[in-house]
């Protein structure tokens, strides 16, 4: 079969793909009612938040000696585990997502959502540093690792599963709709279910978290056009796509390049992700805009300063975030 007919056959398969695979988020899809507080909490006066340190604060800032534990082969980014002198475990990530994820976690946290505790370090020395199958180019012979995002592992916390954007206990709430908008605001194009985690601690309610925010602050799109941690691409991208009397659509492009339709399941899944930023109640978009409006220019800059961006990139990213918050408040 020629390449053309393979693509043609894949298109036919897409036409017969189960309709449920293309469902949009809707209130009727809620399951096993869980309060929206499992996803979101009121931060109070957001103008008082310290966005340089984020959810973990200065008290959890990584410091001292770190010892290598093991490499983590999950996902696409190079990762490994370390432990500090106090016995706290950290997951180290290397590569182009380190800065964008650190900044995104602070901004999403400021909006009231649960996030991981992330810190960026331009370099860190690791005792007994092992040889990595991935990311060895970031490691020197004396155990110094460059450009590291450290994620603090909370004692007693366990991941109990993943959650779906399209069928979850908070579907239809303003809190979930606000999170959908946040993904468009930071241009997160990698919204796979595996990147959404449910965490549980003993005697506490579960927490629903977008646990991977690395594919942000670039351009959304297919595998050829998309980018991450690229201030130029982020500044040149669009935010609000369409506004009606009751709803608003945001730009979020994830449909793969058409020739990749030969992988039907991936093509359908990636195309489906675009619906996450569509058909959002106007009232919920205004709610999020009012919530974010008090953030100062300095607070927003701090998100990117904490992530190690160069001064000109801090300004470019912060200006675009501020403009998108203004766009929400113009609705």
pLDDT of residue 203: 78
User: b/e for 117-155, b at 16 or more Cβ within 10 A?
Assistant: bbbbbeebebeebeebebbeebbeeebebebbbbbbeee
pLDDT of residue 168: 92
Q: Are 158 and 106 in contact (CB under 8 A)?
A: no
pLDDT of residue 157: 86
What predicted TM-score, i.e. pTM, was given to this entire model?
A: 0.87
Q: Which tens digits make up the pLDDT trace of 231-270?
A: 999 999 999 999 999 999 999 986 554 444 455 565 566 6
Q: What is the DSSP string of 222-274?
A: STTT--SS-HHHHHT---EEEE-SSEEEE----PPPGGGGGSHHHHHHHHHHG
Give the residues across from 144 on adjacent strands: 125
Beta-sheet strand order (sheet of 196-200): 158-162, 196-200, 207-210
CA nearest neighbour of 267 among 212, 223, 219: 223
Residues of the chain with pLDDT under 70: 1-33, 254-271
pLDDT of residue 256: 55
- Cα–Cα distance between 122 and 192 in angstroms, integer? 29
pLDDT of residue 172: 94
pLDDT of residue 268: 61
Domain ranges in the chain are 3-56+155-330
Question: Residue 95, by phi and psi: left (phi above 0), alpha (psi -120 to 50) or beta?
Answer: left
pLDDT of residue 155: 83
pLDDT of residue 205: 84
Collapse the DSSP code of 96 into the 3-class scheme (helix H, G, I; strand E, B; otherwise coil) and give the result. coil
Largest separation between any pair of C-alpha atoms in the chain: 62
């Amino acid at each position: 079969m020629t390449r053309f007919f393979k693509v043609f056959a894949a298109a036919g398969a897409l036409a017969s793909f189960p309709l449920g695979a293309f469902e949009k988020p809707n209130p009727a899809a809620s399951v096993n009612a869980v309060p929206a507080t499992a996803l979101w909490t009121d931060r109070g006066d957001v103008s008082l938040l310290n966005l340089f340190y984020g959810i973990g604060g200065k008290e959890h800032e990584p410091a001292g000696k770190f010892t290598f534990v093991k490499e983590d082969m999950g996902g696409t980014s190079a990762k490994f585990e370390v432990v500090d002198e106090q016995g706290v475990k950290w997951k180290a990530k290397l590569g182009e997502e380190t800065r964008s994820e650190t900044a995104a976690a602070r901004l999403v946290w400021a909006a009231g959502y649960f996030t991981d505790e992330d810190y960026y370090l331009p370099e860190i020395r690791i005792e007994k540093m092992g040889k990595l199958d991935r990311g060895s180019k970031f490691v020197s012979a004396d155990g110094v690792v460059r450009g590291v995002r450290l994620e603090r592992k909370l004692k007693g916390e366990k991941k109990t599963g993943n959650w779906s954007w399209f069928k979850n206990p908070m579907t239809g709430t303003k809190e979930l709709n606000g999170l959908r908008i946040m993904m468009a605001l930071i241009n997160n194009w990698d919204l796979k279910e595996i990147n959404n985690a449910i965490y549980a601690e003993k005697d506490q309610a579960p927490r629903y978290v977008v646990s991977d925010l690395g594919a942000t602050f670039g351009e959304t799109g297919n595998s050829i056009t998309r980018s991450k941690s690229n201030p130029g691409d982020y500044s040149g991208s669009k935010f609000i796509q369409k506004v009606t009397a009751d709803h608003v659509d945001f730009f979020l492009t994830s449909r793969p390049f058409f020739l990749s339709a030969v992988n039907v399941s991936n093509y359908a899944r990636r195309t489906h992700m675009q619906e996450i930023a569509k058909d959002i109640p106007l009232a919920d978009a205004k709610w999020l805009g009012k919530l974010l409006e008090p953030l100062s220019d300095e607070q927003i800059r701090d998100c990117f300063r904490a992530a190690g961006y160069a001064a000109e990139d801090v300004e470019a990213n912060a200006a675009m975030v501020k403009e998108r918050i203004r766009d929400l408040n113009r609705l």
